[in-house]
A and B are shown apart, each in its own frame.
Chain A
Amino acid sequence: MSVLRSALIPLIAVTLALVVGAILIATSGSSPVEAYSALIEGSFFGWESFGTTLEKATPLIMGGLAVAFAFKAGLFNIGGQGQLLFGALIAGAVGYGFTGLPWIIHMPLALLLGAVAGAAWGAIPGILKATRGAHEVITTIMLNFVAANMAEWLATKVWRKEGDILVRTPIIEDSAEIPTWGHVPLGFFIAVAFALAIWFLLQRTTFGFEIRSVGLNPSAAGYAGISVKRIIVLTMTISGFLAAIGGSIETLGVVGRYEPGVNAGLGFDGITIALLARTHPIAVIPAAILIAAMNASASLMQFKAGVAPEIVDVIEALILLFVATPIIVRWFVKSRQDDGVSVGATWGST
């Protein structure tokens, strides 16, 4: 399928959502034009706004990648939130706990160990599915709660600086920081590099072919000699790794320490992003930037146009609704060529 046609449904979904959003804004007595100009201004005008958008997009890219990647093997990783938390926490612990290392070693080490922690957390539902047949949706949701409470305990009892009244780890060493050049965050480029790498892995390697085969038809994949269990475990592990990179970058590049509240909900946004990108690894990047832009400028919209910032959540939810139900979009475009496969109906259809 051509790139343009694949992008058609998400583009129309976004447009429709903005139209409905405009009607809502107008009925609440504000001007949609003002609101949307504030939206664009707050997210793209000037290096500072643009940098903030990229910064906010970074964990969303990684979360979206994690979900999209698991989709390709037919797995629905709802555990991005827990995996991201572990990445954020362990990166924070390594970031302050190791001293005297040069940046070139310390930063990558903190990033990597955070990611490995998330990978281990992601491997658990993979192993449970492969060996016991436990459905990953159930286990990943449960593990999100376990992760949140475990992270809280570790940040409270083990790694909290003495005397700090807040639940958080100490500030990381300078040598662990992921820098921001001017207003442009390096973390964003790390995320983009991962998106490209995942695309290559899925499309060009035998491992990626095995993942896609298992996702499309596990029994035929088994007949072809692919070990389906191995693929399930590895896919969930890598998915956890990707989500945790998002958390690690957030700690090392934005917050500077692990603080539970900061990461709330980031992992779940990954599901929205993956759906909007129709599970395409590269399409995850613009999808994440779009959502990040709206989040980044919600407050400016309130300030300038007097619109409640929650309207942004409504628009995001509408986008998701329209993407997941292509039939609504088809009322507007007679696109018979579309294969009729929606991501909502069968995960990982591209």
Chain B
Amino acid sequence: MTAVQAPLALEAIGVTKRFGSITANEDVDLQVEAGTVHALLGENGAGKSTLVNILFGLYHADEGEIRVAGKPVRMDSPRDAIAHRIGMVHQHFQLVPVLTVAENVVLGQEPTRGLGVLDLDAAAAEVTRLAERYGLDVDPRAVLEDLPVGTQQRVEILRSLYRQADVLILDEPTAVLTPQETDQLLGVLRGLAAEGVAVVFITHKLREVLAIADRVTVMRHGRVVGSTDPAETDEAGLAEMMVGRSVVLRVPKSAARPGDPVLSIDGLCVQDDRGRPAVDDLDLEVRSGEIFGIAGVEGNGQRELVEAITGLRDVLDGSIRVNGTELAGHRPREISELGVAHVPEDREKHGLIAAHSIADNLVLNRYHRPPFARRGVRQPAAIDDEARHLVERFDIRTASIDAPARSLSGGNKQKVIAAREFSHGAPLLVAAQPTRGIDVGSIEFVHRQLIEQRDRGVGVLLVSAELDEILSLSDRIGVIYRGRLVIVADAADLDRAHIGRLMLSGSDQPA
């Protein structure tokens, strides 16, 4: 035993927080040591975000105590938290897009040359100094909105460091990052810990916990179920703590029995929002009964490809055929009725109408057809029947089908979309980032469903930024780079490193 124990950088004791009848945090203890990376692990809705919002003064705990460096403190607002040298990086960045990196970092505590004149040179110099010290490579004079998401996140971290944070809280920092950016971020967090910063990061990705955390606290249903050293456990053990039952992380599947092509894309060209080529002369074929995975760093044309197939984006040139029928030029409704099911990338924005009931969302692609509507009049009884059936079949956890979709957790929202898109017999399924931001239990469910669809003879086009997901589900894999598939091969013939090289440079040669 060490004789002298340094006080904990940050401590929560018996924190309880209720929202109306819901208890988001119940008697939660958290102990974060200086110079360590502490992972806060749990499913969506487990209370992680509530806890860190309390620690950062955004919410006020109903019961319990917060201690910083061993002393009890009152946190009534983020101002208090910042005064106690706690910094937070939110999932949605709190940055000003049109300002430069340096301006964003110093915003709120700007260096001046007296009389309130901004000293931007001093700001830039300070940013450069911090960036070098913590290994956060970023150009202080770049305008924020021109930077990729991963770099913007570094600016957020720099801002906390500029305010001399001893504790840095990150709310699901990797949810918005590409695999490469994630690796870089994890490296940065380790570096921060080495400099003595206490890092608290929220995640539900087990691999990240095992890769960098010194300590992990697992939450479930608003309570802490345990705190452990990641070295003493493994992915399966953590998943079980998180979900409360054993979870299959890699869904078993039999060999594919592919049939005829369902989707044939030839020479497809599509532009992005700014009119630049995003998909460039791309060829692709998905056969019935197989999962075709598209791997790639985000922003290489995946989104535009999916939108072109589903009719949400104009096709500039080339053809997209489903079972021989040309899709280009058709509207989304027609394409849906031709048999293209779509799990959109942005669940909240595109997949659901959050204020509509769960029932309405479950029939969102069929609400206008019998039996859900007759002569333009909706048939609530038929809608409710279908909704109840789907809620049961897809194990959607909700008190009522009349509850608004926004009341569901991320995983259950995705189940609603899956139930809607998988249940009407479409021969082609386009799934974009189907498990982004959802919990382990729901990931398992969605993966099982994708394989089940495949086994029923559906052709599945899977687009995912999670290389693990592509590798574990796909029968064939294409790597997309700058709008083209640079390789198409059987999944068995590709390994992780090979795909990674192709994703980064488009060729087998090291960049």
- Residue B270 CB within 8 A of the other chain: no
User: Is A213 located at the chain interface by the 8 A CB criterion?
Assistant: yes
Q: Is the CB of B373 within 8 A of A206?
A: yes
Cα distance, A205 to B355, chains bound together (Å): 18
Q: Contact: B355 with A209, CB < 8 Å?
A: no
- List A residues 193-214 near B (Cβ within 8 Å): 204-207, 209, 212-213
Q: How far is the CB of A133 from chain B (nearest CB, A)?
A: 14
Interface residues of B in 315-354 (CB under 8 A from A): 331-333, 336, 342, 344, 349-354
Q: Which of A17-25, A150-158, A216-224, A232-240 contacts B (4 or more CB under 8 A)?
A: A216-224
Q: Which residues of B contact A15 (CB under 8 A)?
A: none
- In the docked arrangement, what's the CA distance between A220 and B405, Å? 13
Residue numbers in B under 8 Å from A204 (CB-CB):
377-378
Cα–Cα, bound, A207→B364 (Å)? 13
B20 within 8 A of partner (CB): yes
Return the CB mask of B364-397 against A: 1 if under 8 Å, else 0: 1101100001001110000000000000000000
Partner of A225, one of B333, B344, B354, B373: B333
15 additional A-B pairs beyond A206-B367, A206-B368, A225-B336, beta carbons within 8 Å, are A204-B378, A205-B373, A205-B376, A206-B373, A206-B376, A209-B378, A217-B355, A222-B332, A222-B350, A223-B312, A223-B342, A223-B350, A225-B331, A336-B20, A337-B20
A205-B20 Cα distance, complex, nearest whole Å: 35
- Choose among B351, B367, B378 the residue that contacts A223 (Cβ–Cβ < 8 A): B351
B-chain residues with CB within 8 Å of residue A209 when the two chains form the complex:
360, 367, 378
Give the docked Cα–Cα distance between A336 and B19 (Å).
9
Q: Which residues of A contact B312 (CB under 8 A)?
A: 222-223
CB pair A225 B365 closer than 8 Å = yes
Q: What are 6 of the A-B contact pairs (CB < 8 Å)?
A: A205-B378, A209-B378, A220-B349, A223-B344, A224-B353, A225-B336
Q: Which residue of B lies closest to A227 (CB)?
A: B331
Asked if B163 is at the interface (CB within 8 A of a chain A CB), the reply is no
Hey, which chain B residues are within 8 Å of A212, CB to CB?
Answer: 356
Q: What separation, in Å, do the CA atoms of A337 and B21 have in the docked complex?
A: 10
Question: Contacts A206-B373, A209-B378 hold; do A219 and B350 have CB atoms under 8 A apart?
Answer: yes
- Chain A residues with Cβ below 8 Å from B356 are 212-213, 216
Q: What is the size, in residues, of chain B's interface with A at 8 Å between Cβ atoms?
A: 26
Q: How far is the CB of B20 from chain A (nearest CB, A)?
A: 5
Which residue of A206, A213, A227 has the most chain B CB atoms within 10 A of its CB atom?
A: A206
Interface size in chain A (residues, C-beta < 8 A) = 21
Closest to A207 in B: B376
* Contact pattern, B 13-24, Cβ under 8 Å of A = 1, otherwise 0: 000000010000
Given A206-B373, A224-B365, A225-B331, the answer on whether A217 and B349 have CB atoms closer than 8 Å is: yes
Q: Which 4 A-B pairs have the closest CB atoms?
A: A225-B333, A223-B350, A217-B353, A224-B364
**Contact assessment for B373 and A220 in the assembled complex, using a CB-CB cutoff below 8 Å:** no
- A333 → chain B, closest Cβ, in Å? 15
Structural contact, A225 and B353, CB atoms closer than 8 A: no
Chain A residues in the interface with B (C-beta under 8 A): 204-207, 209, 212-213, 216-217, 219-227, 336-337, 349
Q: Which of A207, A220, A226, A337 is the one whose CB lies under 8 Å from B351? A: A220
A217: chain B residues at CB < 8 Å are 349, 352-355
Q: In the complex, what distance in Å separates the CA atom of A222 from the CA atom of B351?
A: 10
> Smallest distance from the beta carbon of B99 to chain A beta carbons, Å?
26
Looking at the assembled complex, report how far the CB atom of A345 sits from the nearest CB atom of chain B, in whole angstroms: 13
B122 → chain A, closest Cβ, in Å?
41
CA distance A204 to B374 in the complex (A): 11
Given A206-B367, A224-B364, A225-B332: A216 and B378 interface contact (C-beta under 8 Å): no
* Shortest Cβ distance from residue B76 to the other chain A in the assembled complex, whole angstroms: 19
Contact B353 A221 (CB under 8 A): yes
Q: How far is the CA of A336 from the CA of B356 in the complex (A)?
A: 21
Q: How many Å lie between the Cα of A222 and that of B311 in the bound state? A: 10
CB distance from B449 to the nearest CB of A (A): 20
Residue of A nearest to B368 (CB): A206
Q: Tell me the smallest distance from the CB of B306 to a CB of chain A, in Å.
A: 11
Residues of A within 8 A of B336 (CB): 225
Cα A336 to Cα B367 with chains together (Å): 33
Q: Which residue of B lies closest to A212 (CB)?
A: B356
CB distance from A20 to the nearest CB of B (A): 31
**Docked CA distance A223–B346 (Å):** 11
A216/B333 in contact, CB under 8 A: no
CA distance A216 to B353 in the complex (A): 7
Cβ-neighbour of A206 out of B344, B351, B355, B378 (below 8 A): B378
A221 CB to nearest B CB, Å: 7
Which residues from B are CB-within-8-Å of A220?
349-353, 364
Taking CB as reference atom, which chain A residue is nearest B380?
Answer: A204
Report the separation of the CA atoms of residues A212 and B353 in the bound assembly, to the nearest whole angstrom: 10
A220–B336 CA distance with the chains assembled, in angstroms? 14
* C-alpha gap A70/B377 in the complex (Å): 20
Closest to B334 in A: A225
Bound complex: CA of A205 vs CA of B372, how far in Å?
10
Closest to A226 in B: B333
B310 / chain A contacts, CB cutoff of 8 Å = 223
- Distance (whole angstroms) from the CB of A207 to the closest CB of chain B: 6
List chain B residues, Cβ under 8 A from A216. 353-356
How far is it, in angstroms, between the C-alpha of A221 and the C-alpha of B310 when the chains are bound?
A: 14
| CB-based nearest B residue for A337 | B20
* CB pair A213 B376 closer than 8 Å: no
Measured between alpha carbons, how far is A226 from B356 in the docked complex, in Å? 15
Closest residue on chain B to residue A203 by CB atoms:
B378
CA distance A227 to B336 in the complex (A): 13
For the complex, give the distance between the alpha carbons of A207 and B377 in Å: 8
**Most chain B beta carbons < 10 A, residue from A209, A223, A226:** A223
Provide the bound-state CA to CA distance between A227 and B360, in Å. 18
Cβ contacts under 8 Å, A349 to chain B:
355
A195 to B20, CA, bound (A): 36
CA distance A309 to B377 in the complex (A): 47
Please give the distance in Å from B387's CB to the nearest CB on chain A.
Answer: 14
Chain B residues whose CB sits within 8 angstroms of the CB of A207 once the complex forms: 376
Rounded to whole Å, the gap between the CB of A169 and the closest CB of chain B is 38
Residues of B contacting A225 in the complex (Cβ-Cβ under 8 angstroms) = 331-333, 336, 365
Q: How far is the CB of A199 from chain B (nearest CB, A)?
A: 13
A207→B365 CA distance, assembly (Å): 14
Q: Which residues of A contact B332 (CB under 8 A)?
A: 222-225
Q: How far is the CA of A88 from the CA of B263 in the complex (A)?
A: 57
